[in-house]
Chain A
């Protein structure tokens, strides 16, 4: 599982630029599914045919990032954010462009307080000396992502972009296992989740599944003086009850709980008032689609060093495998 996750997190893929992730996923699963295609939004849709229910499993391929808005005459880059990037978390980070170029995020040192270190007071240094030199390497509109290579340590994985490549890894793993079922399974690797749950909307509209599950990350409440939160690392995948974008369909939630109990899989409940997942746009698409979620407890979401417990990831795959067989 670590190798699968590593390959996926290492792929460059901010919102709207997910094609490299899609290529990695395609190589992983193409021999195990009946059909694989992409749509106008860039969603990758793989189908394992069946005569039973149409079940859509969705994980988003995109990660948060930065987008270049200006190249100044000294070769420094100004940027906007792609998805929820916290200014202070960006400071001092290395960022990587699609062509491999590395940059460093720093701030205008004339500001009086670090509270004023907003994104528009920051820049990226790519070591270019002039605008012309910079423009040979990067163009306005290009995107960059945090650098943060994957590390396995004490049963945990530390990496950038675990949100939501860990979900992609679970879907890829599941597709490769080919669970025996009559149901028709749609493994959907969505785009532009981080900027407003956009890709999942059009994918669900095209597929019109009978039900859908979004596989994403959820924050934990188990770090020193963290905001209160019931979910802890290592205590099992979280079955979604509610987030800010969706109230999970009760039958799906109950079925997930039953599957976990029947198979001795540890689980927790996710009840949060902030953040959304693809289930938020899927459930109100095409006349309404019963939707739920399975979430991986994750520390430091939207940083270059997110942390998950590999047991939670493996248990989430087991839980979903049991679920899609019903």
Chain B
């Protein structure tokens, strides 16, 4: 494992067009429960790559690629939804009340531009000017109850002409490439996973692949639960954007991941303990291919892996993530090399997975000698 800042450049190996696709994906709005714009874009992207695809009752997009003969099912999962806001009321003065959808910190909201509903009505979350705040206001933290969205309407009637209670609102920030191979955008969590999963569907594999673009991850891993019961996979790899906190003033052990250190693998978080054999197979693949990688250090957060693992008769799972600074804000930042290295690692893993199935992945979790243990059970 590479501990410190060893980078491999991806330039030349992968098309910049994938970054363009990612940028387009971040410019679409897909707050949990309202993922249609993202889903429609992805359908266009994958419809010629998949053998078939369908949208299930909860809104997951499930794309199927038939394998070349190995009777195994692999689920690749990336969630389409992003954190955002839900309009809950309209005040007499035309300002909109809202609730957060998914984990958004109140302090992040102040002064941010948002766009609301299908028509992407522009709005901004304003706050009392510093001149007018008294001492206690300046010292206290912002309360969500005091925040509203200003859409420039003069009263309730005018506001109701363009927005409705129940509309969702997403951050209104376009992606920017800057610095040393960095990309800043909203919703990198988890359009990075969506872009990578769509790319992986270009290939055909020995095993059947179910590319699951899931919904409602940010509010409790809901879409993945339904998708995994339908697919009943033998193994699942989850592609994610994960927390990154690597700035000065932080003790090393509190840095969840570090930007530029490569794909982040989850050993354990609040939702899952990754399958040990699959985790090891992926890390060995990284070492073999010379791809830098890191372990996500903090046991925090959860991913679709948590629901997929305990679905049906149980599924071997592992999560591979792109580290994202300032996640769940309009200005999350990733390193393009990390992004391409996740792709490279996922490709390498899928290329070798048939071999893993025949050795480690196929045996019972303990690899018991069947004769010694009394024959295979029907359970």
Contacts and interface: CB of A to CB of B under 8 A. Distances in A.
Q: Tell me if chain B binds chain A.
A: yes
Interface stretch (B182-190, B192-200, B294-302): B294-302
A17 B365 contact: no
A140 B379 contact: no
Contacts of B310: 41, 198, 201-202
B376 A37 contact: yes
Interface string B293-328: 001011100000000011111111000000000000
Given A36-B373, A37-B379, A120-B253, A16 B299 contact: no
Interface string A10-51: 000001110100110010001001111111111111010000
B218 to A, nearest CB: 19
B252 interface: yes
Interface residues of A, number: 46
B49 to A, nearest CB: 28
A181 interface: no
A45 B377 contact: yes
B366 interface: yes
B365 A34 contact: no
A40 B315 contact: yes
A19 B253 CA distance: 28
A119 to B, nearest CB: 9
Interface stretch (B30-38, B267-275, B349-357): B267-275
B348 to A, nearest CB: 20
Contacts, number: 118
Contacts of B373: 26, 30, 36-37
Contact of B252 (A42, A70, A201, A207): A70
A179 B30 CA distance: 58
A195 interface: yes
Contact of B375 (A35, A198, A199): A35
A151 interface: no
B379 A47 contact: yes
B377 A47 contact: yes
B299 A80 contact: yes
B366 A78 contact: no
B232 to A, nearest CB: 10
A116 interface: no
Contact of A35 (B297, B312, B313, B377): B377
Nearest to A202: B314
B1 interface: yes
Given A70-B253, A80-B298, A38 B368 contact: yes
A4 interface: no
Given A26-B368, A26-B373, A39-B364, A202 B313 contact: yes
Interface string A107-118: 000000000000
Interface in A125-158: 131, 139-141
Contact of B366 (A38, A81, A131): A38
A113 B118 CA distance: 53
B376 A35 contact: yes
Interface string A161-199: 000000000000000000000000010000010010011
A67 interface: yes
Secondary structure at the A interface, as helix, strand, loop or mixed, is mixed
Contacts of B297: 69-70, 78, 140
A245 to B, nearest CB: 14
B377 A36 contact: yes
A82 interface: yes
B379 A45 contact: yes
A277 to B, nearest CB: 16
A323 interface: no
Given A30-B372, A34-B374, A35-B375, A40 B316 contact: yes
A155 to B, nearest CB: 35
Nearest to A281: B310
Interface string B337-379: 0000000000000000000000000001110100011111111
Nearest to A67: B268
Interface string A284-322: 000000000000000000000000000000000000000
A74 to B, nearest CB: 11
B202 interface: no
Nearest to B315: A40
A205 interface: yes
A320 B208 CA distance: 44
A86 interface: no
A39 B378 CA distance: 11
A70 B251 CA distance: 10
A43 B314 contact: yes
Contacts of A206: 313-314, 379
Contacts of B161: none
A72 interface: yes
A17 B377 CA distance: 22
Interface string B1-17: 10100000000000000
B54 interface: no
B368 A72 contact: no
A209 B314 CA distance: 17
B138 interface: no
Contact of A41 (B254, B279, B299, B365): B365
Contacts of A69: 253, 295, 297-299
A41 B374 contact: no
B374 A35 contact: yes
10 contacts: A19-B365, A19-B366, A26-B366, A26-B368, A35-B377, A47-B377, A69-B253, A120-B254, A205-B312, A207-B379
- Going nearest first, the 5 A-B pairs with the smallest beta carbon separation are A202-B314, A78-B253, A16-B273, A80-B299, A37-B377
Given A35-B375, A37-B364, A78-B297, 17 more contacts: A16-B268, A16-B274, A17-B276, A35-B377, A35-B378, A37-B376, A39-B379, A40-B313, A40-B314, A44-B366, A47-B379, A72-B253, A80-B268, A80-B298, A186-B379, A198-B309, A202-B312
